[in-house]
Each structure stands twice: as structure tokens, then as C-alpha cells.
Chains A and B, each alone.
Chain A
Amino acid sequence: MIDQQKLYYIWIYLQAEPLFWLTLTISSYLIADFIYRKSNLFPLLNPVALSVLLVSLILISFNIQYERYFDGAKFIHFLLGPATVALAIPIYRKWDLIVSNSKAILISLTLGSFFAIFITYVLSLQFKLQEELIFSLLPRSVTAPIAMGISEIIGGIPSLTAIITLITGVVGASLGVFVFDLMKLKKMEARGFSLGLASHGIGTARAMSRDKNAGVFAAVGMGLSGLITSIIVPLFLKIIF
């Protein structure tokens, strides 16, 4: 017979340590990535979305607090910072390509970033959302830390913005390719740039997994749209209100 009491004590011990949550996070990712590859990189089976669902299902079914999970998984979360810095290397290696297309980049960047804010505002009005929620939605296409900062400045709710931003990333990464195929876009650089601009890091991760040039342009699009959006959003609100 298995000693249930003993198993319970082992569980109590393990769930208080990072080891268990780190292993759970990585194993969910490996499973999700395996399914994604088996499906021939089918975009709707985006590994981020899939593994997030997997971990969430486990947490919910075992009634585990998110804070408990994050306390362990924060070591993986920490690596987001260094990974962002590391994006300098692929950008550096493709620098000539970026410089020779700087005009295209600047024009697409300005149009795209402005349009992202504008369309979010128009759609929010259509759905008659309250002001506070609209403010939380406006900066949603840029990377979460920037979006949360903007949200705070303009009177949104930063934690809501974090949620909205993450969903934007997953939507762009998993549905973007259908839009690009529909529009018959052939240049990987255009697809990548657009993904980075409209769906930040998660879009960039998707672009990197498909094509090196797409990945680099995604990283450039993400970085630049972060900069320009933090300037445009407050200006946009000044014009509107």
C-alpha cells in the first residue's frame, strides 16, 4: 500500500519549492512544442498559448494559487530581461539590411503604430467600453512593461493592460500568418516587422522560429514601436479629448 500521508507531506514540501514549478513549466513547453512541431507548425497550436493553457489547467484543477506557482516560475520569467538584451546580437548581424531599408521601416513604423492605437480606439467606442478600459487597451500592441507604463500615465489600469497585451501577442502570433497568406505577402521581412510591431515579444518569438530575417525585423519592429507608441498614445489622447 502507498502511504498516502507520506505522499501528502512530500507534496507539501515540493509545492513550496521552485523545482516543481520550474519542471512543470518546462515540461509543458516541451509537450506544447512537440505538438506544434508534429502539427507541422500549425499556427493555431502556438506553443505559448498551448503551454499556458496546460499549466493553467493543472493549477486550476489542483486549486493552486497563481502566486505560489509564480514564486517558482519567476526564474524563467527573469530570463525575459536578458533575452531582450540578447536581441541586440541578431539585429547587429543584420544591421546593413536594416540600414538599407530604413526608409521602409520608418514609414511602416509610423503608419502601423498610429493605426494600432486608432483602430483600438474606434473599436472600443463601437463596443461602448468605459473610459478606464479604453485607456487600458490603447497601448496593447507594445511589449508589456512599456504598455503598462503608458497605461499608468494615461489613467488606465496597468494589470488589465498586462492581460490585454499578452492576449494581443498570442492573437498576433497564432493568427497573423493567415492574414499574411490572405494578402499574399511574400517578403519574410515584411511579415516579421508587422508581427513585432503589432504583437511585440510573442509575435517576435513566432517570427524567429520561422525565419532569421523575419525574426530580426520583428525585433526591430517591436523595439521601435515601443519607443514611438509611448510618445504617440499621450498625444493621441490630447487630440481626442
Chain B
Amino acid sequence: MLNSIFIILLFQLMGEFIQKFFDFSIPGPVIGLIFLLSVLLIIKKINKKHEAFDTNLVISAENLLSYLPLLFIPVGVGVVMHLSLLEENLVSVLLVIVFGTLLTLALTGYVMEKLLKDNNLND
């Protein structure tokens, strides 16, 4: 457990460092994600017989991800408390967001559904 927490924090730390060092517009944790994924894929390539990680890492990661919605609450509360920043534009902004998001979801979902191969899904 502690090992996997360490691995995840270490990769986040590397990501944050690189983000600041090169002044990237991509957030540190996303860079950390890309790094961790690359390392796992490289290990798998070198050592084909074994999985690249111990099961602890999988368990810790999946535990953390199962609470993903919880992690958005502190910022979400900030949104409600600061809604007044939008002032008289609140309704128009909400309409732009709702219609914009639904149309984007529809288009992306449709294109993806048409392009995905049928044979290798749901495994």
C-alpha cells in the first residue's frame, strides 16, 4: 500500500517539477500520468511474461479512482459560493454551457460509435 502511494506521489512530483521547469500549459498530474503510463508500457515491452506492476498498485489506484466524484466537492462548493461572479450573465452562460456540452457530446459520441471497431470491444 505504502509503496503504491509512494509511486503515485513520486510520478506526480516529477510531473509538477517538469511542468514548472518548462512552463508547460499541461498540468503536472497529467504529465505524471503520461510518465507512469510510459514507464509501465516500457517495462511490459522488456519483460513480456510478467505484468509491469504489482497488484498493490492496481488495488490502490482503483480504490482511489472509485472515489473520484468525492474529490470534486471542495472546488464544486467554491463554484456555488462564487456564482455571483457571473452576475447578470448567469442565465446566458448556463445556456451556452448546457447546449454547447450536449451538442459536443452528441457529435463526439456519434463519430466515435461509427468509427470504433466492433470485434474487440467488451473484453
Binding site for B on A (CB under 8 A): 25-26, 28-29, 33, 46-49, 51-53, 55-56, 59-60, 66, 69-70, 73-74, 76-77, 79-93, 95-97, 100-101, 103-105, 107-108, 111-112, 115-116, 119-120, 123-124, 127-129, 133, 137, 140-141, 143-146, 149-150, 153, 159-160, 162-164, 166-172, 175-176, 179-180, 183, 185-191, 193-195, 197-199, 201-202, 204-206, 208-209, 213, 215, 221, 223, 226-227, 230
Contacts and interface: CB of A to CB of B under 8 A. Distances in A.
B58 A85 contact: no
Contacts of A128: 92
Contact of A73 (B27, B77, B95, B104): B77
B1 interface: no
Contacts of B89: 129, 133
B104 A85 contact: no
Given A83-B64, A85-B36, A160 B109 contact: no
Residue from B67, B86, B104 having most chain A Cβ neighbours under 10 A: B104
Given A175-B101, A223-B33, A79 B64 contact: yes
Given A82-B29, A83-B65, 17 more contacts: A29-B69, A66-B82, A69-B77, A80-B72, A83-B68, A89-B40, A90-B61, A100-B117, A119-B100, A119-B103, A133-B93, A163-B82, A166-B72, A167-B94, A171-B102, A175-B98, A195-B105
B73 to A, nearest CB: 5
Given A108-B108, A159-B85, A190-B116, A208 B65 contact: yes
B42 to A, nearest CB: 11
Interface string B56-83: 0110111011111111111111111111
A194 to B, nearest CB: 4
B86 to A, nearest CB: 7
Contact of B116 (A87, A189, A199): A189
Given A29-B73, A153-B25, A81 B12 contact: yes
A187 B109 CA distance: 9
Interface of B is mostly: helix
A56 B60 CA distance: 30
Contact of B69 (A107, A115, A205): A205
A43 to B, nearest CB: 12
Interface residues on B, range: 35 or more
B117 A116 contact: no
A123 B97 CA distance: 9
A115 B72 contact: no
A79 B71 contact: yes
A176 B105 contact: yes
A85 B99 contact: no
A198 B115 contact: no
B108 A115 contact: yes
A177 B88 CA distance: 30
A85 B113 contact: no
A92 B62 CA distance: 13
B112 interface: yes
B18 interface: no
B113 A187 contact: yes
- Give the 5 A-B residue pairs with the shortest CB-CB distance, closest first: A112-B108, A104-B115, A52-B76, A84-B29, A194-B109
